[in-house]
Structure 1
Amino acid sequence: MRKWYAIFVQGAKEEDVMRRILERFDRSSVYCCVPKRKVPEKKDGVVNAVIKPMFPGYVFLQIHMDFKTYYEIQAIPEVIKVLNYENKKDKQVSQGQGYEEMYFKSIPDEEMEHLIKLMDDKAIVDYSTVLMNNNVITIVSGPLKGMEGSIKKIDKHKKRAKLLLNFLGCEKLIDLGIELLAPTPTSPIR
């Protein structure tokens, strides 16, 4: 059964590692992605949309993991490690039946589903359109629609929303780009 795994790679080498994984494995047996986010950045007084990794240094893949697959992935030069239970403190399995499958730390499907819902087909989280009226946040459109409760802060100046996401065993705040709508006198308060 295919499960989700996180691979820790050298900085700025996420795309290279993803390409190499897709070259080494049959595409029907692996799904690989580097989640990215589109955010506004100001440089020399000009604001441009920039694509940045959501989790710098990580590549995510859905695959049936066993030791053979693990060593093939580890053979990729830019790979530092596949997250697993190699730490004695974390290792709570014995070498019984199912040992290989239990050895590797998979990411729960629910966590990945939340992330995949945010991304487009190129694994990019695009801008969401946000209306703020009397400090009440309403997501009008975009990947954050319906997730108002998970937004912890809106930075109007930088045009970014801080989204709280449960991921890889802890809560992470992720900066995502937004387009702010100016409230009008007839804008409904929700």
Structure 2
Amino acid sequence: MFYVVQTAPAKEQITKTFIDEMVGSKIKLKSYSLTRDMRKKFGGQWMTVKEKLFPGYIFVETEDILDTYLSSFAVPLLTKYIGREVDLFETLTEKESGWISKLVAEGEEVPVSEIDIAEGNKVTILSGPLTELEGYVKKVDLHRRQAEVEVEFMGRKTVFYLGIEFVKKM
């Protein structure tokens, strides 16, 4: 089951390392601080840059959240487990866990998806994480080389952006 941990912005990776070393040594868990590859233009050249996908958040996958939580007290920079009420912890829903699992399938780095545009401006996703998230794509911005993805997250609609690379036009 996936749980969400809030931490200080720009401290996700170091907090994740602390969780892995301090908590993961006692309890079986996986933690993810997701980054995305985005295409940006610098000096007329398209380059791939890495950005935080969910700044200030870490995803923890564990079967024993109470022991994970109790072992987390020593972790510096950890703010809180989202959805915690006394001894109850809100897990991500099955739908939320589904799209998170698709994003983390290749690790913590979400690569650029390759797309093709056919006649009539029909976008076809050829490879990358968007192949698994196609139903969630709301808009493709070819100028910025990004896809707008809208998902249900923690009880509300959330929009995030993933990088795309235009392969060819038919």
Task: Calculate the TM-score normalised by the size of structure 2.
Answer: 0.85
For 2:132 and 2:95, how far apart are their aligned partners in 1? Answer: 17
Aligned equivalents of 2:24, 2:4: Cα separation in 1: 19
Contact between 1:139 and 1:146, CA under 8 Å: does it hold in 2?
no
- By relative contact order (CA 8 Å, sep 6+), the higher-ranking structure is 2
**Distance in 2 between residues matched to 1:33 and 1:155, nearest whole Å:** 27
- The residue matched to 1:23 in structure 2 has which SS? helix
Distance 1:34 1:146 in 2: 20
- In terms of mean alpha carbon deviation, does 115-124 or 29-38 score higher? 115-124
Distance in 1, matches of 2:79 and 2:41, equals 33
C-alpha change, 1:47 and 1:54, in structure 2 (3 Å) is same
| Distance apart, 1:109 and its partner CA | 3.9
Give the secondary structure class of the aligned counterpart of 1:182. Answer: strand
**Large movers: runs of 4+ above 3 Å:** 43-46, 146-149
Gaps of 5+ in 2: none
Structure 2 distance, partners of 1:115, 1:36, is 13
**How far off its partner does 1:83 sit?**
0.9
User: What is the CA-CA distance between 1:6 and the residue it aligns to?
Assistant: 0.6
| One-letter code aligned to 2:19 | I
* Partner SS, residue 39 of structure 2: strand
1:163 correspondence with 2:149: yes
Aligned length: 167
CA distance in 1, matches of 2:156, 2:138: 16
Aligned partners of 1:46 and 1:81: how far apart in 2?
41
- Once the two structures are superposed, the pairs formed by residues 1-190 of structure 1 within 5 Å of their partners are 3-26=1-24, 29-63=28-62, 64-66=64-66, 69-86=68-85, 100=87, 103-133=88-118, 134-145=120-131, 147-184=133-170
**Richer in strand (by share):** 2
Letter in 2 for 1:7: V
* Aligned-residue offset at 1:44: 4.0
Comparing both structures, which one devotes a greater share of its residues to helix? 2
Letter in 2 for 1:135: N
Ranges in structure 1 where 5+ consecutive residues have no aligned partner = 87-98, 185-190
Given that residues 120 and 126 in structure 1 are in contact (C-alpha distance below 8 angstroms), is that contact kept between their aligned partners in structure 2?
no
Distance between the aligned counterparts of 1:13 and 1:109, measured in 2? 28
Identical amino acids, percent of aligned pairs: 28
Contact 2:102 2:132 in 1 (8 A): no
Q: Secondary structure at the match of 2:17?
A: helix
> Structure 2: how far apart are the matches of 1:111 and 1:166?
7
Aligned partner of residue 49 in structure 1, secondary structure = strand
How far, CA to CA, are the matches of 2:132 and 2:84 in structure 1? 35
The more displaced of 163-172 and 12-21 is: 163-172
